[in-house]
Amino acid sequence: MRIRIKEFKRLLVESALIVFSVLFALFINRYAESQKLRQQKQVALERIVQEMKSNCELIAEALDIHKTAFRNLQQAATDENDSLRIYMAKYKYFLDQKVFHHLLDGQTSFYPVFPVSTSWQTALATGIVSEFDYQVVEILTEVYTTQEYFLEESLKATIEIISVPIEDESQTINTLLFPVNELVQQERKTIDAIDKALKLMCPEPDEGQSN
């Protein structure tokens, strides 16, 4: 009887050790996966932050160009002796060097470098975005949706107009004013959204906080 009790205790201990080993292995595996996921999330967020900072600089540079174009178009719309209007009537093509020069005050490109969304699209494709806080996802969606809108809509509409021959300079100027103004407003909105996102994702320490 004592032998059976000892055998039972031994089996009970061995079973407990096996169960503990399995549970411990599952815990270690889950912990490792959690750490890996946390690291992937951090890398994704860092890349998105860097992408937005770079995009903000590119958009700000383009915004200055487009504000200049809008100002010159407004001037040409109200002044028949404006130099841009005169060159448009003479050369009949916006992409002519002389016309383009007057439209952009000497700038050589209407959009020097386009902003990108590679890091954001990668986060969506891999599903890591599901690990982001709700507020972060919300503001990032606003940033990249607004950015995509002005690239696909306002900029595209503007390029279509300046890429074709000018038949009537007054009509062309008036037609072009709207998409250029829309482009300027959307670029400002995107920059504001990026600033808001960066403040949320990279908050500055309180002034009274010790280093």
Q: 10 Å Cβ neighbour count for 24?
A: 10
Residue 93 pairs with which residues in a beta bridge?
A: 165
Q: Is 112 left (phi over 0), alpha (psi -120 to 50) or beta?
A: alpha
- How do the pLDDT tens digits run along the chain, 211 residues long? 555 666 666 666 667 667 767 666 676 667 666 677 888 899 999 999 999 999 999 999 999 999 999 999 999 999 989 999 999 999 998 888 888 888 999 888 888 999 999 999 999 999 999 989 999 999 999 999 999 998 999 999 999 998 889 999 999 999 999 999 999 999 999 999 999 999 999 877 654 554 4
Q: Does the pTM of the predicted model rise above 0.85?
A: no
CB-CB neighbours of 131 under 10 Å: 16
Task: Give residue 43's pLDDT.
Answer: 93
**Alpha-carbon span 116 to 54, nearest angstrom:** 9
Give the list of residues 6+ apart from residue 8 with CB closer than 8 angstroms, or none: none
Q: Give backbone dihedrals phi and psi of 24, rounded to 5 degrees, phi first.
A: -65, -40
Long-range Cβ contact pairs of 128-136 (< 8 A, separation 24 or more): 128/37, 128/40, 128/41, 128/44, 129/44, 131/37, 131/40, 131/41, 132/41, 132/45, 135/200, 136/45, 136/197, 136/200, 136/201
Determine the distance from the C-alpha atom of residue 185 to the mean position of all C-alpha atoms in its chain, rounded to a whole number.
Answer: 16
- What is the C-alpha end-to-end distance of the chain, expressed in Å? 70
- Please tell me whether residue 80 adopts helix, strand or coil conformation: coil
Give residue for tokens 């549970």. Answer: 23
Taking CA 121 as the corner, what is the angle to CA 53 and CA 110, rounded to the nearest 5 degrees?
A: 55
pLDDT at residue 210, rounded to an integer:
44
pLDDT for 96: 86
Q: Which of 20, 52, 195 is nearest to 119 (CA)?
A: 52
